[in-house]
């Protein structure tokens, strides 16, 4: 259902039932559960003609992310945790984490091209531009980031360093429900490999 809403855009219960081929009552129960879980919300559709508009539903930011998740991501989590554990035990965890993240970013740039927001979106961060910077609404490595924020968020900082010629600071869990990426004032040069990173969270 989430994938259908992401692909087609907002839809009514009747439209969802028709598209999915299920009974409307079954569709209603599933839809209500998705709304309760925060993956779907009611949206406003322009009214045409008389009468009350039908209830229309669309995927939330988190719902869109869940719908587009890589099904193998759970299997990858054990590998990520092993890498984070190894980095945490290294002589300089911060520098090692940044180096891994920058290597990650360089490979993504080679395959996906440039553009901080589009590439972050492709990696599962659900970036949203705000007046304060870029809010990362979801994290593909959230469980590992909560266990080892210094290492995993350091990798993410390195990723950001490699994706943009401007200087950005990642502030983990800086706002409710999101990490924040802030642009450094008057920054326009690619950061040198030895640049230190301020980590919050």
pTM of the full structure: 0.61
Q: Tokens 């010629």 sit at which residue?
A: 165
Q: Which residue has the higher pLDDT, 162 or 177?
A: 162
pLDDT digits (tens, 9 = 90+) for 2-28: 888 877 788 888 888 888 887 888 888
Span 41-61, average pLDDT: 74
Fold of 2-67: Arc Repressor Mutant, subunit A (1.10.10)
pLDDT value of residue 200: 37
The residues, ordered by sequence, that sit 6+ positions from 76 with a Cβ below 8 Å of its Cβ are: 70
Span 28-45, average pLDDT: 84
Average pLDDT score, the chain: 81
Tell whether the model's pLDDT for residue 168 goes beyond 50.
yes
Measured CA to CA, the distance from residue 53 to residue 188 in angstroms comes to 49
- 90, 61, 73, 71: which is closest to 151 by C-alpha? 90
What one-character DSSP code corresponds to residue 78? H
Confidence band, pLDDT 50/70/90 cuts, at residue 192: very low
pLDDT value of residue 73: 52
Span 25-43, average pLDDT: 86
Lowest mean pLDDT among 14-23, 117-126, 137-146: 137-146
Question: Which contiguous run of DSSP H or E holds residue 24?
Answer: helix 24-36
The residues, ordered by sequence, that sit 6+ positions from 172 with a Cβ below 8 Å of its Cβ are: 145, 149, 153, 179, 199, 200, 201
Confidence band, pLDDT 50/70/90 cuts, at residue 43: confident
Q: Give residue limits of the domains in the chain.
A: 2-67, 73-183
């Amino acid at each position: 259902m989430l994938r259908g809403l992401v692909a087609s855009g907002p839809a009514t219960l009747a439209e969802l039932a028709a598209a999915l081929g299920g009974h409307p009552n079954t569709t209603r129960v599933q839809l209500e559960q998705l709304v309760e879980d925060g993956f779907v919300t009611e949206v406003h559709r322009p009214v045409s003609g008389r009468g009350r508009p039908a209830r229309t539903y669309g995927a939330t930011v988190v719902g869109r992310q869940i719908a587009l998740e890589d099904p193998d991501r759970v299997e990858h989590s054990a590998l990520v945790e092993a890498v984070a554990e190894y980095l945490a035990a290294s002589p300089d965890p911060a520098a090692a984490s940044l180096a891994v993240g920058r290597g990650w970013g360089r490979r993504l740039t080679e395959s996906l091209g440039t553009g901080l927001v589009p590439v972050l979106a492709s990696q599962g961060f659900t970036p949203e531009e705000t007046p304060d910077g870029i809010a990362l609404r979801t994290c593909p490595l959230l469980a590992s980031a909560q266990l080892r924020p210094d290492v995993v968020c350091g990798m993410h900082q390195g990723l950001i360093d490699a994706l943009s010629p401007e200087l950005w600071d990642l502030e983990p869990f800086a706002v409710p429900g999101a990490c924040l990426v802030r642009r450094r004032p008057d920054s326009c040069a690619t950061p040198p490999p030895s640049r230190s990173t301020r980590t919050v969270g």
